[in-house]
Structure 1
Amino acid sequence: MTKAIEKESAAQKKNNTSPTVEPCSLVIFGGSGDLTRRKLLPAVYNLVIDGLLPENYSVVGIGRKSWTDDEFRRVAREGIEKFSRQSLQEDKWEEFARRLHYVSGAIDDPDMYHGLRTRIEEIEAHFDLPGHRIFYLAIPPTSFAPSCQGLQRAGLIYPPELPERVSRVIVEKPIGHDLESAKSINATIGEVFDESQIYRIDHYLGKETVQNIMVLRFANSIFEPIWNHKYIDHVQITVSEAEGLGTRATYYEEAGALRDMVQNHILQLLCLIAMEPPYSLDPDVVRNARMEVLRCLHPIKGKDVEKFTVRAQYSHGKAHDQEVPGYRREEGVKADSTTETFVALKLFIENWRWSGVPFYLRTGKAMPGRASEIAVQFKDIPEILFNTNPEARQAPNVLTLRIQPEEGMSLRIMSKIPGSRARSHPVEMDFKYGDAFDAPSPEAYERLLLDVMAGDASLFMRRDAVEASWAWITDILQGWKDHGGKWLPEYPAGTWGPVEADKLIETDGRQWRLV
């Protein structure tokens, strides 16, 4: 059996090729920032170690700190040693470090961009690079406009119809705080870059389990026939964070859980689990299928927010043996803040496939653990044979996709308990990426950076999808503004949310899963 599996795996590897990546320069705005040190530079290093990048490439960091190339390399090494998926290898590091460069300057300084162009052209000439450039905006949204306009004025961007010189831009969230601001940001970037050159990144879409949703649904004949309202009772999506506010008061007071997690991460998970089968894997075909889900979301407007949403704040409690103050007592938070640290939603997708199937979403801070999962619960079997006892109903079948911390999936089925009596008991068929494959799963940023370099936009949000998700979210925000109270319900830090969230789902005769 093992030899047969190995033979099949070898055949599959032969058919699966890695994305074709041309030699290029990755230019990171925010090069001295935390995201670059913790995620981006370790991601590029891991791609090098795995042999997925061409021999020729360069990385240029841009930041306000007055670093030299060597200081940038020192910080990069520290980040790789601490955060990289793979350990630092001295021989690989020496070659990698040679390709790291740094430009010091302010984003709103026009002179910086002319110096940047000169430096990039020198690096491209030194490494014999063809001029393909990827610009990563790891900076606040307020800096998107001056950075894009500066690049354009300095002649650093090539038009999309020039295939021998590729220019692409990666945009980090948040893309706005409501519909109007999202439109403004999109318009600003769109004045400089063509839509085909813009990659709006959501690191959740780079996680292995998230990528596996399409494979699970459309590469297995057993699921698609039952992936509809006839067989599925409901779907739960949970994204819980164990930590509290930390040092993010300035950002979080303006954002809240709905903007921070639901508008991007959770709605993207919803689109993947609910989308119709695309007719090909062409990036725009896949993104069209995801977009249709957003178009079919039943709007939650006005007083409907009281029926379909719950928001709350964490109060004083204990999480992971650490005392956590109440949200309104955190440093930097207003004493009368109505910013939600928890939100639960019940929504419906108004199309043929999902008619009448509720989707329950929840996310929060200061919860018992860090976890993300999608649970698809199938309908109960008829009340005959093994499900006749009204006091002990048979547990339903549930397909669970675990996104973090331990990526994998499980399917709960009923099995007979050994013995002479016909008794059944739920058992889990469990799959874990770490156990099934020899190598650890690549980090999300590794896959996403590789896709940008290869020009594959499948896992990135298009402008219309960003604005459609904000339109849906903005209705809820307006409903809260018009019908919300001065004080929000509270839940003790270290618990799974307020009792109001339990009532939201229990009113329908269902319960939240224990994650």
Structure 2
Amino acid sequence: MATSGIIGENRVNDPVTIVIFGASGDLTHRKLIPALYIAYAQDLLPEKFTIVGFARRDYDDETFRTMMADSIKEFSRLPTDDETVGRFVSHIRYHKGDISSMDAYDDLRTKFEDQEAYPENRLFYLSIIPSLFETAVRSLKESGLVVKPGGGPWTRVVIEKPFGRDLESALALNSELLRHLDESQVYRIDHYLGKETVQNILSFRFANAIFEPVFNRSYIDHIQITASETVGMEKGRGGYYDEYGAVRDMVTNHLLQLLCLVTMEAPGDLSAESIRNEKVKVLNATKLDIRKEISDAVFRGQYGGGTDGEGGRIKGYLEEDRIDPESNTESFVAMRLAINNWRWAGVPILLRTGKRMARKTTEVAVQFKVPPLQLFQQVECEDDVCDITRIKPNTLIFQIQPNEGIFLKVGTKRPGMRFVVEDVKMDFSYSGTWNKSLPEAYERLLLDTLHGDSTLFTRSDEVEAEWRVVQPILENLNALKPYTYPPNAWGMPEADWLFHGVEGAWRNK
């Protein structure tokens, strides 16, 4: 993987103007501006840079700078001081405009004629609703704010998920984007790919000779990928979520990207194109593992009402604000996938994600097959009380959040006179190995865009391949009516049926 944008390494040298569309939104305040500030504080931004906030609110430069300074002090993971914050926000300006109005783009182009204040290299970050992506990109091109890739100044455009609602809309969006931009100018951002443990999956697999030879159907029983959240539809998120649901919001980007990294073949080199080529190959080989009906392979759910630990009322999904009381949208989905290639044929891939679940966690668990000959007895002990059980399989766990790390469960002899085996965990946790705080995903990804490193961004054919995996679900929603599951649970028990023929069950830990 290219290292140009890694935190703590190479400084960005190109002078740049960074324009954030939707600058009055939550993402700008909580993530983007704090991430750029941290890069500045670590001397990773170029000497000449300007950040332009683009929004409809009636702010001036000083008002917007004050707001951004407050956001930095609240959300920066590193300590702040007034002097450094002040120097950073002096690079920030505000541009009032409507994304749908060409006049706003023409006014911006006029501003950019002052090349001393606004360097010619331009990064446009579209922190806006997906329905405005096409309008913004078309207007940028028609107003002359986008230049063709070549030897001169560069233009790059970052767009946030979701990249469409289904395969048809994803194809249409890609077609429109690539009508105005070259593929090399488009950075489709998935913040999961900026997380430290996610990146470590590749290095763990391909930098260690002891693991890669057993990453195949001969040794692995199944792979589980879980992304669970304890939150529901607070803070007005119901309007967006009810339109998209768990499949569109989580599976077609975060979970399938994790699947790619843990199952892809080794790339020929660490270039962006080589890595993304291998991800597309494995996505093209991935299908729902349907035996007879699609309902064999997919379970959708909605959380019901209940009580919290203090006796307070928890609303069910259909009771939440801005949710249609007749909604068919899932807040939980579990599915079983198959990868039809030589390495993974016959190995079930089990995905699940949901809201209002028992614990917030994101992990990839690779479960190995049990030894073919059961020579030993296994014990499970709590204090001094032990029970004899079946031999337990080894499990390799990539913990993405919250306790970032890589863990390996193996069997070893329990001390004592009896020859019995007990599970132990080999623990590589980031917190236990390094005392530095981990960089936020957006810190890494924003620097990568400034370096022109597209390794951790999604290519157009990759997006389309992801939608092809889930398109059968979207076409059969009427046959996949959501079950109800209680809040603070691990979904509904029906999802356990996906483990037919598999050694094990969901890791509800």
Normalised by the length of structure 2, the TM-score is 0.93
Matched, 1:269 2:263: no
1:116-515 to structure 2, matched below 5 A, reads 116-122=108-114, 124-126=115-117, 129=119, 131-161=120-150, 163-246=151-234, 247-299=236-288, 304-319=293-308, 321=310, 323-387=313-377, 392-481=389-478, 483-485=479-481, 488-505=482-499, 508-515=502-509
Deviation string 1:348-399 (CA, Å, 9 cap, x unpaired) is 1000100100011000000112110000011101333215899621221111
> What is the alpha-carbon distance in structure 2 between the residues aligned to residue 337 and residue 126 of structure 1?
50
Cα deviation for residue 91 of structure 1 reads 2.0
Cα deviation for residue 300 of structure 1 reads 5.9
> What is the alpha-carbon distance in structure 1 between the residues aligned to residue 335 and residue 94 of structure 2?
45
Cα deviation for residue 277 of structure 1 reads 0.1
Cα deviation for residue 154 of structure 1 reads 1.9
Q: Percent identity?
A: 44
Letter matched to residue 195 of structure 2? K
Work out whether residues 300 and 476 of structure 1, in 8 Å CA contact, stay in contact via their aligned partners in 2.
Answer: no
Deviation string 1:457-504 (CA, Å, 9 cap, x unpaired) is 1111000011111122111111223x234xx21111110000101222
Letter matched to residue 348 of structure 1? A
Letter matched to residue 194 of structure 2? G
- Name the Cα RMSD after superposition: 1.9
> What is the alpha-carbon distance in structure 2 between the residues aligned to residue 302 and residue 192 of structure 1?
43
**Number of residues of Structure 1 aligned to a counterpart in Structure 2:** 493
Q: 1:68 aligns with which of 57, 60, 66?
A: 60
Cα deviation for residue 86 of structure 1 reads 0.9
> What is the alpha-carbon distance in structure 1 between the residues aligned to residue 170 and residue 97 of structure 2?
27
Task: Point out the more displaced range, 353-362 or 427-436.
Answer: 427-436
> What is the alpha-carbon distance in structure 1 between the residues aligned to residue 290 and residue 241 of structure 2?
24
Cα deviation for residue 438 of structure 1 reads 2.8
Structure 1, unaligned runs of 5 or more? 1-15
> What is the alpha-carbon distance in structure 2 between the residues aligned to residue 320 and residue 354 of structure 1?
43
Deviation string 1:85-129 (CA, Å, 9 cap, x unpaired) is 11222221121011011100101111111111222333x4137x3
Structure 2, unaligned runs of 5 or more? 1-7, 380-386
Deviation string 1:387-436 (CA, Å, 9 cap, x unpaired) is 58996212211110111112111111112222222122111111111221
Normalised by the length of structure 1, the TM-score is 0.92
Letter matched to residue 484 of structure 1? L
> What is the alpha-carbon distance in structure 2 between the residues aligned to residue 146 and residue 480 of structure 1?
30
Deviation string 1:35-57 (CA, Å, 9 cap, x unpaired) is 10111000101111222222221
> What is the alpha-carbon distance in structure 2 between the residues aligned to residue 382 and residue 509 of structure 1?
13
Deviation string 1:247-279 (CA, Å, 9 cap, x unpaired) is 122211111111110011100000010000001
Distance 1:24 1:497, change over 3 A: same
Task: Point out the more displaced range, 304-313 or 387-396.
Answer: 387-396
> What is the alpha-carbon distance in structure 2 between the residues aligned to residue 302 and residue 381 of structure 1?
28
> What is the alpha-carbon distance in structure 1 between the residues aligned to residue 98 and residue 315 of structure 2?
37
Distance 1:302 1:348, change over 3 A: closer
Distance 1:411 1:301, change over 3 A: closer
Query: Which residue is equivalent to 2:382?
Result: none
Task: Point out the more displaced range, 408-417 or 274-283.
Answer: 408-417
> What is the alpha-carbon distance in structure 1 between the residues aligned to residue 486 and residue 247 of structure 2?
19
> What is the alpha-carbon distance in structure 2 between the residues aligned to residue 54 and residue 425 of structure 1?
54
> What is the alpha-carbon distance in structure 2 between the residues aligned to residue 140 and residue 315 of structure 1?
29
> What is the alpha-carbon distance in structure 2 between the residues aligned to residue 269 and residue 343 of structure 1?
16
Query: Which residue is equivalent to 2:4?
Result: none
Q: 1:53 aligns with which of 20, 45, 51?
A: 45
> What is the alpha-carbon distance in structure 1 between the residues aligned to residue 485 and residue 290 of structure 2?
25
More helix by share: 1
Distance 1:302 1:68, change over 3 A: farther
Work out whether residues 148 and 189 of structure 1, in 8 Å CA contact, stay in contact via their aligned partners in 2.
Answer: yes
Work out whether residues 117 and 156 of structure 1, in 8 Å CA contact, stay in contact via their aligned partners in 2.
Answer: yes
> What is the alpha-carbon distance in structure 1 between the residues aligned to residue 318 and residue 292 of structure 2?
26
